[in-house]
């Protein structure tokens, strides 16, 4: 895996039932934990992790 971090170029909203949405603003830098199929598992500084699709590169996120 050559990508160690990504930067969001669009806001990302994560929704979970019965919870307030989690918002990541554009400009947020996230650590790439691993590649899973056609996705990256990313993590913020607090340890919260989620996946981003590889085909969203340069639309939602870019390599840092």
pLDDT computed for residue 12 by the predictor: 98
Q: How many domains does the chain have?
A: 1
**Domain of residue 40, CATH code:** 2.30.30
- Asked if 10 and 59 count as a contact pair (C-beta separation under 8 A), the reply is yes
Does the pLDDT at position 1 exceed 80?
no
In whole numbers, what is the pLDDT of the chain averaged over residues? 96
Please tell me the pTM assigned to this model: 0.90
Q: How many CA atoms lie within 13 A of 38 on its CB side?
A: 4
Host domain of residue 13: 5-63
Q: What percentage of residues in the chain have a pLDDT greater than 90? A: 94
Local confidence band at 2 (pLDDT 50, 70, 90 cut-offs)? confident
Tens digits of residue pLDDT in 15-44: 999 999 999 999 999 999 999 999 999 999
């Amino acid at each position: 895996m050559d990508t160690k971090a990504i930067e969001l170029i669009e806001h990302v909203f994560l929704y979970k039932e019965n919870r307030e949405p989690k918002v990541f603003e554009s400009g947020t830098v996230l650590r790439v934990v691993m590649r899973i199929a056609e996705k990256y598992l990313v993590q913020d500084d607090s340890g919260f992790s989620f996946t981003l699709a590889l085909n969203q590169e340069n639309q939602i996120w870019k390599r840092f």
